[in-house]
Amino acid sequence: MRVQESGEYRPMMRDVPSEERPRERLQRHGASSLKTSELIAILLRVGVGGENVLALAERLLAMYGGLAGLARADMAELCHVRGVGQAKAAQLKAALELGARLAVAGQDVRPQIKSPSDAANLLLMEMSFLPHEQMRVLLLDTKHRVLDVPTVYVGSLNASVVRVGELFRAAVMQNCAAIILAHNHPSGDPTPSPEDIAVTEQVIAAGKLLDVEVLDHLIIGQQRYVSLRERGLAFTGSR
């Protein structure tokens, strides 16, 4: 049986030779040999309504502009995509989250921060795909090794609502020597806003009182970042 999809005839998966099916190709050649759409097709398992599963995977990637867009997709939105539903959406989100966690777990247990790019490399994989704004704090020891990276704030960053004390709570409890702030812009544009600069100035001032050095504030966009220290924003004249 063949079904029509976007003006082309596509065979159902049961009509595709076994050696060309994604699952069988993975078993024979390994996961790295498969295209992204084929890996997603394995997660989805079956198509729906006459659309084969590989066509469904390709349609999802096209809808969201690739894997990064699919990772940012809201669970509720995915559930309403034709051919997906709750079960398939849950499988996709779980797999993408595991990939993000594996990237973090594969890094050194206590990486040392020597430059803004070192800090950004720890955060870009996960924070680039967050659908909502978050602020995280890299807690550093005297050698600038990472002790922890707690999420301390979720929501639009605004100097009037961010409680500076909350940003230092974990740093004080763990007797940290320094911290680096990091938050994402879900729009993908990491250009610092006036609010970003104002919050950073408040945090730097509080850090001096608490004897916790604020080394930098990173703004995370889509696979790119801005360092306020490198830009000379808020850190002018700070130690």
Domains of the chain by start residue, with CATH: 2-104 (1.10.150), 111-231 (3.40.140.10)
Are the CB atoms for 192 and 157 separated by under 8 Å? no
pLDDT value at position 47?
A: 73
Helix, strand, or coil here: 187? coil
pLDDT value at position 106?
A: 59
The average pLDDT across 23-29 equals: 83
146-148 vs 151-154, strand pairing mode: unpaired
pLDDT at 17 over 80: no
Residue the block writes with tokens 């707690």: 150
Query: For 121-125, 203-207, 214-218, which range has the lowest pLDDT when averaged over its residues?
Result: 121-125
Are the CB atoms for 34 and 20 separated by under 8 Å? no
Residue the block writes with tokens 């994402």: 184
Residue 225, H or E segment: strand 225-227
pLDDT at 124 over 60: yes
Beta bridge partners of 136: 151, 182
Residue 79, H or E segment: helix 75-79
Q: pLDDT digit string (tens) for 126-179?
A: 888 888 888 999 999 999 999 999 988 887 665 445 678 888 988 998 899 999
Q: CA 92, CA 212: separation in Å to the nearest integer?
A: 41
Are the CB atoms for 137 and 167 separated by under 8 Å? yes
Half-sphere exposure of 147 (CA within 13 A, CB side): 18
Q: pLDDT digit string (tens) for 61-118?
A: 999 888 888 888 888 888 999 889 899 889 998 988 888 777 666 555 678 899 999 9
Q: Which residues contact 106 (CB under 8 A, 6 or more apart)?
A: none
Handedness of CA 145, 148, 221, 103 (dihedral sign): positive
pLDDT value at position 15?
A: 60
pLDDT value at position 161?
A: 57
pLDDT value at position 3?
A: 35
Q: Retrieve residue 22's tokens.
A: 């994604």
Task: For residue 7, name the pLDDT band (cuts at 50, 70, 90).
Answer: very low
The average pLDDT across 197-226 equals: 93
Average pLDDT, the chain: 83
| pLDDT above 90 coverage of the chain, percent | 33
pLDDT value at position 157?
A: 60
Q: φ, ψ for residue 187 (rounded to 5)? A: -65, -20
